[in-house]
Amino acid sequence: MSRIGIIGSAGAMGQALVQAIAAAGETHAGGIDKDGDLAALVSASDVLVDFSSPAALEANLDAAVAGNVPIVVGTTGLEERHHFLVDQAAESIPVLQTGNTSLGVNMLVHLVREAALRLDESWDIEILEMHHRRKVDAPSGTALMLGAAAAEGRGIAIEHNSERGRDGITGARGRGAIGFASLRGGTVAGEHSVIMAGEDERIVLSHSAENRSIFARGAVRAAQWLTGQAPGRYDMAKVLGL
């Protein structure tokens, strides 16, 4: 049994996590939000789960390293500098970073990589996501994971082959590009579609989150798995054996 500490505890994911920890028979070590006592939470925890804000990431990783406690980073909206910080922390402690903790999305990531490996550049890949009106980052972390998987399958660098935020006279779509589009509204927990559009035909691979419990269950599974791992950077594929 592990003591799981929550960063971002009063938030939508933090609250879903409290329920998932109890359902899994684990111990809720406590939680913090902005201005909470991070050091005390680290001392009380065997493993941390962070669903807060990119602005909090550096302090969270530093505290986890100082306390030698593994951390699951589920926060999205991360930039290159945040990924660098994750890599640095992973030299000392186990860190699992993912834009989506659900089994279904991680299976979708796998399927997208496989499809992109087999389809040539004449198939245009577009990623469409929709989330609730409160979401602050776009494209979603999941959309970025799906784009990265498509690029990996295709053997191209996503940094040089993305089309994001089209507006106005954008010119025709680039051959081989991976496009992203984001919708926001209502209470949608998370919808992702990867559209592969070829000549006169289309393949659509998609996932619908019916509620946040799928992310919370996945985060608890990740926290359980991460406890006892060697220092390093991990993802959900390792946890789920995909």
Tell me which residues are annotated as active site.
131, 135
- Kindly state the number of chain residues that form the binding site for ligand NDP, as judged by CB under 6 A: 26
Q: Which is nearer to ligand LZUJQKHR, 5 or 99 (CB)?
A: 99
Residue from 2, 45, 76, 162 touching ligand NDP (CB under 6 A): that is: 76
Residue 26, Cβ neighbours under 10 Å: how many? 19
Q: Which residue, 96 or 196, has its beta carbon nearer to ligand NDP?
A: 96
Residue whose C-alpha is closest to residue 21's, from 52, 42, 48, 40: 48
| Letter string b/e over residues 76-100, b meaning 16 or more CB atoms within 10 A of that residue's CB | bbbeeebeebbeebbeebbbbbbbb
Nearer CB in complex with ligand NDP: 55/117: 55
Report the site for ligand NDP in 27-56 (rule: CB under 6 A): 32-34, 36, 51-53, 55-56
Q: Measured from the CB atom, is 101 or 193 closer to ligand NDP? A: 101
**7 in contact with ligand NDP (CB under 6 A):** yes
**Contact yes or no for 149/186 (Cβ under 8 A):** no
Contact residues for 155 (Cβ-Cβ < 8 A; gap 6+): none
Strands (DSSP E) found in the chain: 3-7, 27-32, 47-50, 71-73, 94-97, 124-131, 162-164, 178-184, 191-198, 201-208, 232-234
- Of residues 78-107, those binding ligand LZUJQKHR (CB under 6 A): 99-100
Q: Distance of alpha carbon 191 from its chain centroid, rounded?
A: 14
CA separation for the pair 97, 114 (Å, rounded): 22
Contact between 75 and ligand LZUJQKHR (CB under 6 A)?
no
- Is 10 annotated as ligand-binding? yes
Footprint of ligand NDP (CB under 6 A): 7-8, 10-14, 32-34, 36, 51-53, 55-56, 74-77, 98-101, 141, 215
Q: Residue numbers of the site for ligand LZUJQKHR (CB under 6 A)?
A: 76, 99-100, 131, 135, 140-142, 190
